A and B are shown apart, each in its own frame.
Chain A
Amino acid sequence: MAAQVELFLQTLISGFLLGGLYALIGLGMALIMGVMRIINLAHGDLMMVAMYVAYWLFTLFHIDPYLSVFVATPLLFFLGVGLQKFLINPVMKVESILPHNQVILTVGIGMILANLATVFFTSNYRSTPVSYASKAWYLTDFWKNAPIELSLSAPWSLSFLAAVIITVALWFFLTKTDTGKSIRATAQDIDAALLMGVNVGVMRAVTFGIGAALVGGAGCLFIPIYYLYPSLGKQFTNVGFVITVLGGMGSTEGAIIGGVILGIFESMTATYLGMGWAPVGRFLIFVAALVFLPGGVASILRKQRLGK
């Protein structure tokens, strides 16, 4: 019995930690979705780029992956702004039969990034063997006679903590600064924002940049606890859009809650069904969200705020 409880709690903890990181991926996608009304299907591949940045910084200059957040995030920001300005924006003006041209375009971008990574860096699995990789805290260290044993891995906790810090920083940016407010205004109503004097074009580029920067940060936080290969992006793109749908298209609070839910659920499927089934669990959550909660977590939050 104790072993069962132990396993369950341990799974819950690791799911929660994973969820914090997932929330960061989902946040970027939700921001882009909210402002530009497109799903960025190159999201995971942008994360892959950031992970390679962190990997090379670690391998060549021995820079800790957590420090490379400060290098990769600005880099990804400019990459995102560039992609938006020179590729996605021109397509928004092109007349065509298909409504989803921009989404198809992001798929193309993702395909190029993943393939270029394979060409330049080969498809070998890589990781950053940091010195504290296997360090962990145990429950019995603090509570001698604990009936069950739980552990908390150091890099996982660090990554989670960093993810929380970035999320809080983003929240401050979105609620307290002018640019942040303009971004939220653009997401709420583009025409009204235009009339209020918000430069919507610039906001779109900035938002795409921030979305890319967030997922870049997530990449740096992922690399100490995960391994890296060129086609890993797809998987995290899936994670991102499942969170976006689960959280409610374009809602940032929803994305955080959605990320945690997905993290815990995936951790549970991995423990009780087997590692390989995690994508299926992801899909089940996606379908369940579509059927039972098409508005996502955001619709529940909205109801509560209205007092109903």
Chain B
Amino acid sequence: MPPIILAVLCFLPLVGLSSYAMHILVLVIMWSIIGMGWNLLGGYCGQVSFGHAAFFGMGAYSSGLLYYHFGISGWWGLLVSIPVLTITSLVIGFICLRLRGAYFALATLALGEVLRVTAENLVKFTQGDLGILIKQRTWVEKTWYFYVILLLAAGSFLLVKKVMESKLGYYFVAIREDQDAANSLGINTTLYKTIALCLSGVLTGMAGAFYMNYMGYIDPTTVFPLYDISIVTVMVVMVGGVATYWGPVIGALIMVFLAEVIRSMPKIGAAHQTLFGILLIFIIIFLPNGIVGDFRKITGLFKPRGALK
């Protein structure tokens, strides 16, 4: 199944889609990478993060700052973001993942906010609210961007799949289901939670680095916002399906299209967060495991009444 979808996507740009359609596709694929990253940590390992904007923004800024300070191509940011995000994740993991409960969720939430403030205040280093602009885009056409992000997404998908089919994946699920039981079986829970965080952070950071190169402009409020990135990341996975391979992809598809449709409506556009919030509440109450996770529940609704019982 995945190779067929990949092949179809590879040939998609040849059909001659409009620039706008390509843009949407690129965004969908980018969001599915972020979703896969979040899912690895939140869905499989059970450590819910409310601050993936922190990782996304750090990736974007590591790319942007390389370009701004050293004048080299922002694409190196894709590589540089890996060590940067690993170190960040190790630090956060060391501090928060030793403790139970909501500490981790809160720490990530605060981290996103702090990074935004730091980026706004370190004017000499990050240009503050002026943001960073890449003066010369690599390509004018969106086709190559599409292939780059597709490659990244295919890599991420493969990585998540391989991890989850390995021993590591079973450790993650064991930790999510019952940390005490996992601990008593000799699993070093802090270590494996930190590994999940590192992988998740790196995937998200690479998506961020790509975003910098793709959009050509970032500022603290576009890459570190709570609602527009961190919460949308949570929603991408929750809508699509927590702890499923295809959940983030489906979720990204739905969320990006929904966002575009809502924002294009003249009167409702400003209220898009309200609609997202209502959708989030609806999903949590009625489809807590997402569209892929609760697929049976959905198909059950459309079956004739008698078949239900």
- Contact A98-B46, Cβ < 8 Å, known A104-B234, A111-B273, A283-B114: yes
A100→B105 contact, CB < 8 A? yes
Could you tell me if B110 and A103 are in contact, using CB atoms closer than 8 angstroms? no
Whose C-beta in chain B lies nearest to the C-beta of A289? B103
Candidates A104, A114, A276; contact of B48 at CB < 8 Å: A104
Contact of B176 with A97 in the complex, beta carbons under 8 Å: yes
B side interface size, CB within 8 A: 46
B109 contacts across to A, CB distance below 8 A: 41, 238, 241
Contact of A107 among B46, B50, B102 (CB under 8 A): B50
Alpha-carbon separation in the docked complex, A277 to B114 (Å): 9
**CB-based contact A234/B113 at 8 Å:** yes
Complex contacts, B95 vs chain A, CB 8 Å: 287, 290-291
Q: Which of B87-133 contact A (CB under 8 A)?
A: 95-96, 99, 101-103, 105-107, 109-111, 113-114, 117-118, 120-121
Contact indicator B231/A112 (Cβ below 8 Å)? no
Set of chain B residues within 8 Å of A100, measured between Cβ atoms: 48, 102, 105
Q: Is B280 an interface residue (CB 8 A)?
A: yes
Tell whether, in the assembled complex, residue B110 and residue A282 are in contact, meaning their CB atoms are under 8 Å apart.
yes
A101 lies within 8 A of B284 (CB): yes
Point out the residue from A109, A118, A283 that lies within 8 Å of B111, measured CB to CB. A283
Query: By the criterion CB–CB under 8 Å, are B107 and A119 in contact?
Result: no
Q: How near does chain A come to B192, taking the closest CB pair, in angstroms?
A: 17
CB of B237, distance to nearest CB on chain A (Å):
9
Given contacts A97-B242, A98-B48, contact A105 B284 (CB under 8 A): yes
A interface footprint on B140-184 (CB within 8 Å = 1, 0 otherwise): 000000000000000000000000000000000000100000000
**Is A283 in contact with B110, judged by CB distance below 8 angstroms?**
yes
CB-defined interface of A82-119 with B at 8 Å, one 1/0 digit per residue? 00000100110011111111011101110110111011
Output the least CB separation between B58 and chain A (Å): 15
Residues in B with CB closer than 8 Å to A99 are: 46, 48
Task: Please report the total number of A residues contacting B with Cβ < 8 Å.
Answer: 45
Contact across chains for B48 and A91 when beta carbons are under 8 A apart: no
Measured CB to CB, the closest approach of chain A to B13, in angstroms, equals 35
Task: Please give, as numbers and ranges, the residues of chain B lying within 8 Å of A118 by CB-CB distance.
Answer: 270
Tell me, rounded to whole Å, the shortest Cβ–Cβ distance linking A108 to chain B. Answer: 4
Q: Indicate which residue in B48, B274, B288, B293 contacts A112 across the interface (CB closer than 8 Å).
A: B274
Shortest beta-carbon distance from A120 to chain B in Å: 10
Q: Please state if A87 and B43 are interface contacts (CB–CB under 8 Å).
A: no
Report yes or no: B114 in contact with A279, Cβ–Cβ below 8 A. yes
Q: Does B243 contact A (CB under 8 A)?
A: yes
Q: What is the bound-complex CA distance between A119 and B42, given in angstroms?
A: 32
Verify A111–B231 contact, CB threshold 8 A: yes
A274 to B117, CA, bound (A): 12
Chain A, residue nearest B44 (CB): A97
Q: Is the CB of A276 within 8 A of B121?
A: yes
* CB of B115, distance to nearest CB on chain A (Å): 9
CA distance A283 to B121 in the complex (A): 15
Asked whether any CB of chain A lies closer than 8 Å to the CB of B227, the reply is yes
* Residues of chain B contacted by A66 (CB below 8 angstroms): none
Residues of A within 8 A of B111 (CB): 283
CA distance A144 to B176 in the complex (A): 66
Query: Are A115 and B274 in touch, CB under 8 angstroms?
Result: yes
- Over the window 218-262 of chain B, the binary record of Cβ atoms lying under 8 Å from chain A Cβ atoms (1 yes, 0 no) is 000000001100010010001000110000000000000000000
B interface list, Cβ under 8 A from A: 42-43, 46, 48, 50, 95-96, 99, 101-103, 105-107, 109-111, 113-114, 117-118, 120-121, 176, 226-227, 231, 234, 238, 242-243, 270-274, 276-278, 280-281, 284-285, 288-289, 293
Ranked nearest first, the 6 interchain pairs of A and B with the lowest CB-CB distance are A96-B288, A115-B273, A112-B277, A108-B280, A111-B277, A100-B48
Using a CB–CB cutoff of 8 Å, the interface residues on chain A facing chain B are 38-39, 41, 87, 90-91, 94-101, 103-105, 107-109, 111-112, 114-116, 118-119, 234, 238, 241-242, 245, 249, 274, 276-277, 279-280, 282-283, 286-287, 290-291, 294
